[in-house]
Amino acid sequence: MSNYMLKLAKRIQDIKESPTLAIAAKAKAMKAKGWDVIDFGAGEPDFDTPDNIKDAAIKAIMSGFTKYTAVGGIDELKDAIIEKFKRDNNLAYTREEILVSCGGKQSFFNLAQAFFEKGNEVIIPAPYWVSYPPMVAIAGATPIILPAREEDAFKITPEQFSDAITPATKAVVINSPSNPTGTAYLPEELKAIADIAVKKGIFIISDEIYEKLLFDNHPFASIASFSEELKRQTIVLNGVSKTYSMTGWRIGYAAGPKELIKAMTNIQSQSTSNPTSISQKAAIEAIKGPQNAVHNMVAEFDKRRKAIVNGLNAIKGVRCTLPPGTFYAFPNISRLLKKRFNGKAINSSGDFAEFLLEEAEVAVVPGEAFGGEGHIRLSYATSMENIKEGLKRIEDAVRKLE
Ligand code: PLP
């Protein structure tokens, strides 16, 4: 018998599976077993990828565009991204300042590997996207979680930011519109944060992947566009996943100082190489082609946003503000904690999510996964019918709590 013992690297021993993907997997497994689960866990639009984008991919396949490409993306796609930044954000970049990766997630991963090391602190406002802290930690740096207050609409204030800065602070992550809260900073709020970053020499990571998912004409400004000085100490992350219902195609991109982009490209060249050639052609069509599918999707999300928030507020013990962006609602359920179901205490948002899954057959993500205990995240990227039925089930289940 072999006495071989498998020993994982110490560096990754505390790294867990992404909790949002874990919930999605659990709900899927229950559905496969015949449970009638209503899934509010999804981190992706429920719409199909628009046909013009699919056609561009089919054309790429049929014309034999199926081989390795330049590691950091083909020039035609980089040029489309450059045009997008000019058109939408009034930002001028060159090809050397752009990197196309296998999703926004890989953009952040490359960045963390290229830029962070032991001894660095990275300020991450909470509630945060689940993957920021582990990606910073994998790079050996320390995530500094800065809780944004619910009464400040889950946005950090300039004072909070300033107070969190230490001599070890290397960067701050700003994600607006935000996953999981759906909050979005106003341009003047970003400006106040940017002024501190410039004064104190803190690099800004601006994750703008939900840029196009804003309602009620909420204004959007890329933080990098405020000044040339600021642009030099900012990296903008964006991608096609959410805007064009292209989560499976895996295309994200980064724009920033060319030395940093070069280092990130080198990391990508030693890991995945180029993003899929076919997806790159599809992304060109997404960015440059007609945008009506995006507008239709946002109009539909807006209707659902109002329905889900109204429905949540009608449930006793639940409080939810109307978020200005994304396709997530992030209600406060803290008044339901410490209650009991069948004698078992519900002590945390995790317990509450488990209770909903088992008792109501409704999948939500617990706020604790995002550093937002006392809340749950519901994605309304699901049909209005599901939203109505899901809300009814949650209401019925909550009534059973003692
Ligand atoms: N950034 C945020 C805030 C997200 O919510 C996500 C996906 O959930 C991503 C980045 C990455 O998306 P993708 O890797 O599909 O481009």
pLDDT tens for each residue of 147-191 = 999 999 999 999 999 999 999 999 999 999 999 999 999 999 999
How high is the pLDDT of residue 189? Answer: 98
Q: Which of 7-11, 55-59, 240-244, 292-296 has the lowest mean pLDDT?
A: 7-11
Residue with tokens 């903008």: 236
Q: Which amino acid residue places its CA nearest to atom 7 of ligand 1? A: 43
pLDDT at 265: 98
Residue 13 pLDDT grade (very low, low, confident, very high; cuts 50, 70, 90): confident
Average pLDDT over residues 39-47: 92
Ligand 1 atom nearest residue 105's Cα? 14
| CA–CA gap between residue 37 and residue 271 (Å, rounded) | 37
Q: Identify the pLDDT of residue 28.
A: 85
**Is residue 58 scored above 80 in pLDDT?**
yes
- pLDDT digit string, tens, across residues 86-97: 999 999 999 999
**pLDDT (mean) for 128-146:** 96
Tokens 């969190």 belong to 164
Q: Indicate the pLDDT class of residue 51, thresholds 50, 70 and 90.
A: very high
The full set of domains in the chain, from first to last, is: 10-48+293-399 (3.90.1150.10), 53-288 (3.40.640.10)
- pLDDT above 90: residue 241: yes
Say whether pLDDT at 259 is over 90.
Answer: yes
Q: What is the tens place of the pLDDT at every residue in 309-328?
A: 999 999 999 999 999 999 99
Q: What is the pLDDT of residue 1?
A: 73
Strand 169-175 relative to strand 142-147, pairing: unpaired
CA distance 357 to 33: 14
Supply the DSSP string of 13-56, one letter for each residue. TT----HHHHHHHHHHHHHHTT---EE----S-SSPPPHHHHHH
Q: Which of 105, 236, 237 to mutate to test the pocket of ligand 1 (most atoms within 8 A of CB)?
A: 105
Give the model's pLDDT for residue 46. Answer: 95
pLDDT, position 25: 81
pLDDT of residue 385: 98
Report the pLDDT value the prediction gives residue 17, as an integer from 0 to 100. Answer: 78
pLDDT of residue 14: 80
pTM of the model: 0.96
Please give all residues whose beta carbon lies within 6 A of any atom in ligand 1, as ranges.
Answer: 43, 103-105, 129, 175, 179, 207, 209, 239, 241, 247, 252
- What's at 158, amino acid-wise? P
Distance of CA 156 to the CA centre of its chain: 17
Q: What distance in Å separates the CA atoms of residue 336 and residue 347, rounded to the nearest whole number?
A: 9
pLDDT of residue 2: 86
Q: What is the DSSP string of 311-376?
A: HHHTSTT-B----SBTTEE--B-GGGTT-EETTEE--SHHHHHHHIIIII-EE-EEGGGGT-TTBE
Model confidence over 181-213: pLDDT tens digits?
Answer: 999 999 999 999 999 999 999 999 999 999 999
Question: Could you tell me the distance, in angstroms and rounded to a whole number, from the CA of residue 104 to the centre of ligand 1?
Answer: 5
Q: Is the pLDDT of residue 217 over 80?
A: yes
What's the mean pLDDT in 369-380?
A: 97
CA of 345 to the centre of ligand 1 (A): 34
Distance 100 CA to ligand 1 centre (A): 14
Distance 88 CA to ligand 1 centre (A): 20
pLDDT band at 18 (very low <50, low <70, confident <90, very high): confident
Instruction: Indicate the top mutation candidate among 130, 179, 181, 209 to test ligand 1's pocket, ranked by most ligand atoms within 8 A of CB.
Output: 209
**Residues 241-251: what's their mean pLDDT?**
98
Q: Which residue from 44, 45, 37 is spatially nearest to 300, judged by alpha carbons?
A: 45
Residue 24 pLDDT grade (very low, low, confident, very high; cuts 50, 70, 90): confident
pLDDT on residue 12: 82
pLDDT over 70 for what percent of the chain? 100
Question: Ligand 1 pocket check: which of 206, 241, 287, 379 to mutate, most ligand atoms within 8 Å of Cβ?
Answer: 241
